[in-house]
Every structure is written in structure tokens, then in C-alpha cells.
């Protein structure tokens, strides 16, 4: 289902992050504020800082969501979607020592 979406808006659980990164899908993550150790916020920010996602923290209003999703919808499918690219990020993560 993810591969059919223009943009995925989701919580930033580890499984979702891994799947979307591997697929190279554009995503806007809204971390669960009550996640243990705030790992969802940490992981979403990590991908956002790498240029592989948009992370919306704190109170997410309709305006903030629109501002996060809007620019991604303007990028044509098959075009250069991210400056770093979530798929490229997935390749880097798979090659790192933490995945062996």
C-alpha cells in the first residue's frame, strides 16, 4: 500500500520507518509524544535531518500538516523526491555496522 501513496503521513515507529525508508517513500512523521524514551521523535528527527523525511513535533495543527505535506505533493512521482533520498538512506543504514 505504501508504494501507491504520493506521501505517507504516519507515526514514526521503528517498523514503519524501516519500511518507508527501504521503499524510498516520501513521508511526514508525527511522532507519538508518549513513546518510551521519546524514540519516535528521535528517529523521525534523524531522518528529517538526513533529508529523508519531514518530522512534525509537538502540537500538529492543520496548517502545520499542510505545510509539511504540500511541498512533497508538488514533486512528480518518479522525480527527485528528496535531496538525500529515503532509499539512499536505507542503503546507508543497511551497510552500517549496526545492521550486521
Question: In this predicted model, what pLDDT tens digit does every residue of 56-93 receive, in sequence order?
Answer: 999 999 999 999 999 888 877 655 554 445 555 555 54
Whether 90 is covered by a domain: the verdict is yes
The pLDDT of residue 97 is above 50 = no
**Residue 43 is part of which domain span?**
2-94
Whether 71 is covered by a domain: the verdict is yes
Whether 99 is covered by a domain: the verdict is no
The pLDDT of residue 40 is above 70 = yes
Whether 100 is covered by a domain: the verdict is no
Question: For the chain, what is the domain count?
Answer: 1
Whether 80 is covered by a domain: the verdict is yes
Cell of 51: 533529508
Mean pLDDT of the chain: 81
Mean pLDDT for 20-43 is 91
Cα→Cα distances 45→6, 10, 17, 37, 49, Å: 21, 14, 11, 14, 6
Q: What is the CATH number of the domain that holds 70?
A: 3.40.50.2000
Whether 57 is covered by a domain: the verdict is yes
Amino acid at each position: 500500500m505504501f508504494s501507491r501513496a504520493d506521501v505517507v503521513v504516519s507515526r514514526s515507529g521503528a517498523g514503519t520507518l524501516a519500511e518507508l525508508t527501504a521503499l524510498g517513500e516520501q513521508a511526514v512523521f508525527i511522532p507519538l509524544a508518549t513513546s518510551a524514551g521519546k524514540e519516535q521523535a528521535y528517529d523521525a528527527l534523524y531522518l528529517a535531518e538526513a533529508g529523508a523525511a519531514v518530522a512534525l513535533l509537538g502540537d500538529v495543527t492543520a496548517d502545520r500538516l499542510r505545510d509539511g505535506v504540500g511541498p512533497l505533493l508538488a514533486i512528480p512521482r518518479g522525480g527527485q523526491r528528496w535531496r538525500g533520498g529515503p532509499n539512499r538512506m536505507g542503503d546507508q543504514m543497511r551497510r552500517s555496522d549496526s545492521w550486521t
